[in-house]
Amino acid sequence: MNIRFLGHSTFLLQSGDHRLLIDPFITGNPKSPVTLEEALTWKLSAVLISHAHGDHWGDALAFGKAGTPIIATAEIGGYAQKHGAVNAVGMNIGGTYATDWGKLTLTPAWHSSSFPDGTYGGMPTGLVIEMGGKRVYFAGDTCLFSDMRLIGDRGLDAAILPVGDHYTMGPEEAARALELLRPKVAIPMHFGTMPTLTGDPHIFKRGGEAQGVDVRILEPGKTTEI
C-alpha cells in the first residue's frame, strides 16, 4: 500500500487499482500540494471522513456530487446525501463496512464534531482500513485513550496519529499511544498547519523509535510504502 500525505490530516491510500481519500481538506489547506481540480480527476474508490469539522470534511461534497462514495457516521452520511452527494454510506462506531476494495471499521475518537454551518456531525471517529492485505489505523482528531490497546490487538501495519496539540494529543501523548497500538509504522499528522498546532513531530519520532516503531515524517505531497 502507498500512503501519500496531502497536508494536515489528508491522505491518499492506494493499493492496486483502488484509491481512498481520507479527510479531503484541500481547498483552504495551506499545506496542500494539490488543487481540488486535480484531485477531482483521480479515480477514487471512496472518500472516508473521520468527523465533520471543516478541516476534515473539507471538499467532501465536491467528490460526493461527482459520484464518489462518502463513508462516515450516519450523521455525516445523511448530511452528505441531503446536500447532493450521490452515494453516501452512513454507519457507526464498532460497525464494519465491507466492499470490493476491503473493509472499514469505525472506532471511537475523543473529540467533537460539527459541520461548518453548525449542524451536529455525530460522534468523531477513528478509521481502521483494511486494503490490499494491510491494516491501517487513522486516529482522526483525538486524545490518548486506553482502548487504543484494543485497536492495536487487531495487528496494525501502520498508525496515523495527530501530534499537533491544542485540539488533539501532542507528540508526547501520541508516542505513548504507540505503546498501546504497537504498529509497525507510524506517521504523524495534524501539525504545523496553523499557529496553534505547535506539536513537534520529531519528538513523536524519537518517542516511537525508542519503542522500535518505524516513524516516518512525511512532507506534504510525499508518499511512503508499507
Chain centroid offset of residue 113 CA: 14
Q: What's the confidence (pLDDT) of residue 157?
A: 98
Give the type of residue at 44: L
Residues 115/80, Cβ–Cβ less than 8 Å: no
In the numeric block, which cell numbers belong to residue 175?
Answer: 508516542
pLDDT at 214: 98
Which residue, 122, 128, 206, is CA-closest to 172? 206
Report the pLDDT value the prediction gives residue 5, as an integer from 0 to 100: 98
CA proximity to 84, closest of 70, 72, 73: 70
183 vs 26, 113, 119, 177, CA distance in Å?
28, 27, 35, 10
pLDDT for the residue numbered 204: 98
Across the 226 residues of the chain, what is the mean pLDDT of every consecutive 10-residue run?
Answer: 98 98 98 98 98 98 98 98 97 97 98 98 98 98 98 98 98 98 98 97 98 98 98
- Domain topology for 2-218: Metallo-beta-lactamase; Chain A (3.60.15)
Tell whether pTM > 0.95. yes
Q: Which residues pair with 120 in a beta bridge?
A: 114
Cell numbers at 188, concatenated: 504523524
Q: Please say whether the beta carbons of 56 and 23 come within 8 A.
A: yes
Q: Where are the domains of the chain?
A: 2-218
Give the model's pLDDT for residue 39. Answer: 98
User: What pLDDT score was predicted for residue 160?
Assistant: 99
